[in-house]
Amino acid sequence: MPFADVSLGSSVSGQQAPILILGGSGFIGTRLATLLQEKQLPIRIGDLVQSQAYPQWWETCDVRDLDAVRWRAQGAGVIINLAAEHRDDVRPVSRYHETNVEGAARVCEAARKTGVKRIVFTSSVAVYGFQPRPVDESGPFAPFNAYGRTKLEAEGVYRAWVAEDPSRTLVIVRPAVVFGEGNRGNVYSLIQQIASGRFLMVGAGENIKSIAYVGNIAAFLIHTLSLGCGEHIFNYVDGPDMSTRDLVGHIYRCLGAPGRIRSIPKSVAMAGGHVLDVVARLSGRRFPISAIRVLKFLESTQFHAERARAIGFTPPWSLSDGLERTIRFEFPQR
């Protein structure tokens, strides 16, 4: 197994202290809980939404509510915070700060009050914004939206917490775009468009994309539980990085989809995205295409993640494996 040994101390009863997963009912959280169960590690799940996979370990918990977080953290050996406002169309915009930044402050305060000395926080490569070349964990930082800005602010809250006590441990993981079975994010939308025959390449598709498979992300989060005291920050991507055209071609092959890749100019796609943004604001409807999503598709988003491999982590699945597993799960008829 690619996991390091995990030892998080004992509870009052002498059993291993449980791992609290905030946001544990979601896409990454459910996969993480499954891997922890396979390793026979005790878990708790705190989320606003009931866990469909593990209702027996779930209790409602809002990271903005100090008392709720403190109640779930009592006796825990580690807090893994996956809870976040992450969609790019959240309204009001203040919800990003309330959940991502104020939520971080509540988690840290709950850790202080309950004596939890280890926190794992999933941030995002959105803290870097759009960069002309691949970046490592040192930046530069130039988030372009409220999600990226508040994730970077939240990192500052956690870093202040770990600096207060040399016996504390903080792990910050910045994943690239995460995909996998059951997710309905950007990679799924791309696969779905190709499978339906509606896909149009925007531009030449030469921009480079770093992405990450959910099974590997969950495995890496567990791997970091063995790290010693102090601050540890990691980018996470599954290589090798692909150009958008190569990624699309790989998906075509996995689906057995015939035909050549059709494309439209960047200017046309951006204009369409802006029009739909206006319609969305006036009507209150949500559309799968927006100006910011077109921009994300067009930009190169490439990141160095050698630090994750340097601590001895080996991903259980290759990037190609992850894509093929996802396609088999979501489109079994293809």
Contact 208, 242 (CB under 8 A): yes
Predicted local distance difference test score (pLDDT) of residue 8: 59
Encode pLDDT of 220-232 as tens digits: 999 999 999 999 9
**Preceding omega of 258 cis (within 30 degrees of 0):** no
- In which residue are the tokens 């930044």 written? 101
Tokens of 209: 């994309």
Q: Which residues of the chain have pLDDT under 50?
A: 1-4, 12-13
Q: Please provide the DSSP assignment of 183-231 as one string.
A: --SHHHHHHHHHHHT---EETT---EEEEEEHHHHHHHHHHGGG--SEE
Place of tokens 């567990």: 222
Q: Which candidate, 110, 193, 200, 114, places its Cα nearest to that of 157?
A: 110
Confidence at residue 299, expressed as pLDDT on a 0 to 100 scale: 79
pLDDT of residue 51: 94
Look at the alpha carbons of 159, 6, 84, 142 in this order and tell me if their dihedral is positive or negative: positive
Q: At what angle do helices 214-223 and 319-330 cross, to 10 degrees?
A: 130
- How far is 24 from 205, CA to CA, in rounded Å? 35
**pLDDT at residue 1 in the model:** 36
C-alpha to C-alpha distances, 126 to 123, 213, 237, nearest whole angstrom: 8, 17, 13
Which residues are designated catalytic?
147
Residue-level pLDDT at 110: 98
What pLDDT shows up at residue 334? 67
* Residue 16 confidence (pLDDT): 87
Contact 87, 154 (CB under 8 A): no
pLDDT in tens, 16-74: 899 999 999 999 999 999 999 999 999 999 999 999 999 999 999 999 999 999 999 99
pTM of the complete model: 0.89
At a CB cut-off of 8 Å and minimum separation 6, what does 24 contact?
Answer: 30, 32, 33, 43, 44, 45, 46, 47, 51, 54, 58, 80, 82
Which class for 267: exposed (0-12), middle (13-18), buried (19 or more C-beta within 10 A)? exposed
Residue boundaries of the structural domains of the chain: 19-180+211-239+302-317
Classify domain 19-180+211-239+302-317 at the CATH superfamily level.
NAD(P)-binding Rossmann-like Domain (3.40.50.720)
Alpha-carbon gap, residue 226 to 118, rounded angstroms: 10
